[in-house]
Structure 1
Amino acid sequence: MTFEDFNFKPQLAQAIKEAGFREPSPVQKEAIPLILEGRDLIAQAHTGTGKTAAFGLPVLQQLSCDGSVEALVIVPTRELATQVSDEIFRFGKALSIRTATVYGGSSYTRQIQHVQSASVVVATPGRLIDLLQSGKISLSPRFVILDEADEMLDMGFLDDIKEIFTHLPESRQTLLFSATMSKEIRTLAQRILKDPATVSITGGNVTNEKIRQLFYVVDEPERDDALVRLLDYKNPDKSIIFCRMKKEVDRLRDFLAAQGYDAKGLHGDMDQRQREATIRAFKNGQAEILIATDVAARGLDVNDVSHVFNYHLPFDPESYVHRIGRTGRAGREGTAISIVSPHEFRSLQRIQKSVGSSIESRIIPRIEEVRAQRSDALIQRIEKQEVDTASYELIEELKEEYDLTTLACKLLSMLRDEEEVRGADRIGKDLKEIERLFTRMKEERHYKKGRGGRNYNNNRRRNDRSGGYRKKESGRR
């Protein structure tokens, strides 16, 4: 199937072609025909599967451009509002369709002016409800889309969403897109949708199959060293590191900067101008690493993120899904890496069971492995390097003092010295230690279920005194 099968308007079809779209993604393939039929829709699909085009293209196809707002897209964050608006504008500009973006932290007057001349409005709940309740704008859209509905509910926007729909016309086509489908989402859908069709792309696995998921087990004091070693070994082109707290983002940004990495931080205490500048620098390649909290990175849409790192595991499976969904976008492959302490094993198992995908155990590479990997990368770099005239002249000058072999060794040594491998040779647990930790966890669960808490604690104390559990766990500390 291709996009030509949808029989879009010539201008829209040309915009799709110029964007490099050839075959529709699964969610696009299923959702677009239903939307064109006029059905309300509940679509569950993980992040990065082309949801914006899945609702944007069929809506743009049906707009009449009569001078009023015909489509309203509600999203959880300012960043996502900007990105969705940009993508809809890119597809709709050949049709002379104007978009307006409405979110907090910007001028009311300017946003109201933009709304008055727009066919499509993309808005966050807080600013939108302010404008509707104050009477500064009045909307009667034919199409209403809730994008990333689960994130909006996680951020506490449920009451705002309900209030917004009291200001919208009953005769409308409503589309709800969500990566996860909780009871609250289903209840909301029953309230605002009429006889909806359902699209579910996830099956039993709610994560993108193009994302390889790995975890590395370390003791708590080893986290920083493990992160640096993995960055050195994986050498990601563009990566996001997720932290739980704002102060952790700032600390890790400063730590990585001291190690020579070009890292930027993103969290809720930054003002809008700082946030936009940071995201722009990351998108444009001026920063190779973005360190962010979950809330700050919600809706962040950067297609060329090769790796996502969980410095700590998130508190819930939904956050894990959203985090790793920042990589493996637009049909690309990606890697999601979690740094896990033994105390986080239960959280890891809960996440793996919830998302329905395999998270593979790996060992932190040792120094020699990193050096070997860097040697391979250096060979590739040399093969691709073009030679300029000035270099030839310099070689001729140096040949008077050194033979070519000595000269080449000196130059390569200079390059290798610039890439020192940092940290201890061995970091984290090996596979046997990880297996023992999992076995211990199963034994503890067996004691709790079969013998009761008191007997379990007594058994554990006896094993501690006899060197049983604790001796096994100590390993090489």
Structure 2
Amino acid sequence: MSFEKLGLSENTLGAVRRKGFSEPTDIQREVIPLFLKGNADIVGQSQTGTGKTASFALPLVDVINEYEREVQAIILTPTRELALQVADEIKSLRGKKRIRVLSVYGGQPIGPQIRTLRKGVHIVVGTPGRVLDHIRRGTLRLDGIQYFILDEADRMLDMGFIDDIRAIFRETPRNKRVLMFSATMPREVLRLAKRYMEKYELIRTSSDEPVPGLVEQEYIEVVPARKISVLKRILDGEFHGIIFCQTKRETRILAEKLAHMGYNAEALNGDMNQRSRERTLMRFKRRKINILVATDVAARGIDVQDIAHIVNYSLPQNAEMYIHRIGRTGRAGKKGKAITFIKPGEYRRLRYIESVAKVSIKKSKLQESIDREKRRDSRKRY
């Protein structure tokens, strides 16, 4: 089934195409039509990396009334990182609709959040503690809420947010829809559903495998100025794979640099027309080029067998994107390798992605060589 058959508006379908989504995942196929056509509450079980956020973000964009100033949807997440990620995903999918989205969380000055709320916001995405803080200050009113969404409900319960969730729920009107998403479905989650949902549809998806079991995952901490030299060490072996960059400009610059150094590399990004993309992919499939330098558009649509390597030239924005990227390798019973570059100071963010994606990302052996060189260079200076 294509996105066109799920009942989404043309505006939202346009955003889907710009994002490079090819076909809906299982959770998207189940949730989107039910969200748009039905009146029932929804409990969805789906692993991280299966497109869960888009499953509620896409229909939410369609049902929000952009001409009303009051908050129409509240989305609770267990962490500030996830709040930012969900808010960014909704913004990237809103197309031409003037939907205002605000993420609220602790550890950040509350003043700018208050000023934005006073201007009018349609969707608030936040952690329970900060949302409750705004409610008690009178800066966030939820009496116009039509959609109450709990993301990663199992983690919120594990982190002890149940009392905050109850307090927030009491501030919302009775006549609203409640959606709850969870990677696992323990009794506590179902008990929460029974307490706060009138009549709900339970959706479980299991066919979307989040992370191939045959992918060896490593990280390398490297300063930006040395990324190219470290990358060369990886490419000088037998390499047939994808290097993921954050921006279209970065793919072009890196592909040109690698080609100038004698590597068989080409860029793949959203600025290319469909015919050019298909030609590049065909050359990659036939091994006429062995290095594809791509944006995350490629993570959604590439289906090439025997990709042996994935390099995250920059740390992905979230766990879901990390899984989409490394899922290009380790297929059909064959081993693959995924190497992620992190800058100094990004270690905690890497570990957050690791915990949410439920994967193990080990320090690369190449890191030891880099560290030895650092110490040697330091001694030379002094």
Deviation at 1:180, TM superposition (A): 0.6
Match runs of 1:61-460 below 5 Å: 61-65=62-66, 66-116=68-118, 117-140=120-143, 141-202=145-206, 208=210, 210-212=212-214, 302=322, 304=325, 307=338, 323=355, 325=357
- CA separation of 1:321 and 1:287: change in aligned 2, threshold 3 A: closer
SS where residue 168 of structure 1 aligns?
A: coil
Q: 1:223-279, CA deviations, whole angstroms, 9 ceiling, x for partnerless residues?
A: xxxxxxxxx99999899xxxxxxxxxxxxxxxxxxxxxxxxxxxxxxxxxxxxxxxx
Deviation at 1:101, TM superposition (A): 0.9
- CA separation of 1:180 and 1:207: change in aligned 2, threshold 3 A: farther
| Cα distance in structure 2, aligned partners of 1:166 and 1:199 | 26
- CA separation of 1:419 and 1:154: change in aligned 2, threshold 3 A: closer
- CA separation of 1:420 and 1:3: change in aligned 2, threshold 3 A: same
Determine if contact 1:47/1:325 at 8 Å carries over to the other structure.
Answer: yes
Q: 1:317-339, CA deviations, whole angstroms, 9 ceiling, x for partnerless residues?
A: xx999737267xxxxxxxx5689
User: Does residue 49 in structure 1 map to residue 50 in structure 2?
Assistant: yes
Between Structure 1 and Structure 2, how many residues are aligned?
262
- CA separation of 1:338 and 1:160: change in aligned 2, threshold 3 A: same
Which one-letter code corresponds to 2:132 in the other structure? I
SS where residue 186 of structure 1 aligns?
A: helix
| Cα distance in structure 2, aligned partners of 1:326 and 1:298 | 13
SS where residue 190 of structure 2 aligns?
A: helix
| Cα distance in structure 2, aligned partners of 1:4 and 1:153 | 36
The answer for the alignment partner of 2:59 in structure 1 is 58
- CA separation of 1:151 and 1:233: change in aligned 2, threshold 3 A: farther
| Cα distance in structure 2, aligned partners of 1:168 and 1:233 | 58
Deviation at 1:7, TM superposition (A): 3.2
Q: 1:66-88, CA deviations, whole angstroms, 9 ceiling, x for partnerless residues?
A: 11111111111111111110110
The answer for the alignment partner of 2:11 in structure 1 is 11
| Cα distance in structure 2, aligned partners of 1:237 and 1:8 | 32
| Cα distance in structure 2, aligned partners of 1:30 and 1:174 | 16
Which one-letter code corresponds to 2:32 in the other structure? I
| Cα distance in structure 2, aligned partners of 1:308 and 1:191 | 44
Determine if contact 1:129/1:163 at 8 Å carries over to the other structure.
Answer: yes
| Cα distance in structure 2, aligned partners of 1:46 and 1:142 | 26
Determine if contact 1:42/1:177 at 8 Å carries over to the other structure.
Answer: yes
Determine if contact 1:237/1:288 at 8 Å carries over to the other structure.
Answer: no
| Cα distance in structure 1, aligned partners of 2:91 and 2:314 | 28
| Cα distance in structure 2, aligned partners of 1:58 and 1:135 | 29
- CA separation of 1:136 and 1:70: change in aligned 2, threshold 3 A: same
- CA separation of 1:300 and 1:112: change in aligned 2, threshold 3 A: farther
Determine if contact 1:301/1:326 at 8 Å carries over to the other structure.
Answer: no
| TM-score normalised over the length of structure 1 | 0.48
SS where residue 94 of structure 1 aligns?
A: coil
> Which ranges in structure 2 are unaligned for 5 or more consecutive residues?
218-235, 245-295, 297-310, 327-336, 341-350, 374-382
Determine if contact 1:80/1:299 at 8 Å carries over to the other structure.
Answer: no
The answer for the alignment partner of 1:394 in structure 2 is none
- Of Structure 1 and Structure 2, which has the larger fraction of its residues in helix? 1
- CA separation of 1:52 and 1:298: change in aligned 2, threshold 3 A: closer
| Cα distance in structure 1, aligned partners of 2:47 and 2:19 | 21
| Cα distance in structure 1, aligned partners of 2:354 and 2:111 | 34
| Cα distance in structure 2, aligned partners of 1:195 and 1:18 | 35
The answer for the alignment partner of 2:22 in structure 1 is 22
| Cα distance in structure 2, aligned partners of 1:299 and 1:78 | 14
Deviation at 1:106, TM superposition (A): 1.7
| Cα distance in structure 2, aligned partners of 1:421 and 1:105 | 36
| Cα distance in structure 2, aligned partners of 1:209 and 1:46 | 10
Which one-letter code corresponds to 1:154 in the other structure? D
Determine if contact 1:213/1:337 at 8 Å carries over to the other structure.
Answer: no
SS where residue 122 of structure 1 aligns?
A: strand
The RMSD of aligned alpha carbons is 4.1
Deviation at 1:6, TM superposition (A): 2.2
SS where residue 21 of structure 1 aligns?
A: coil
Deviation at 1:212, TM superposition (A): 3.0
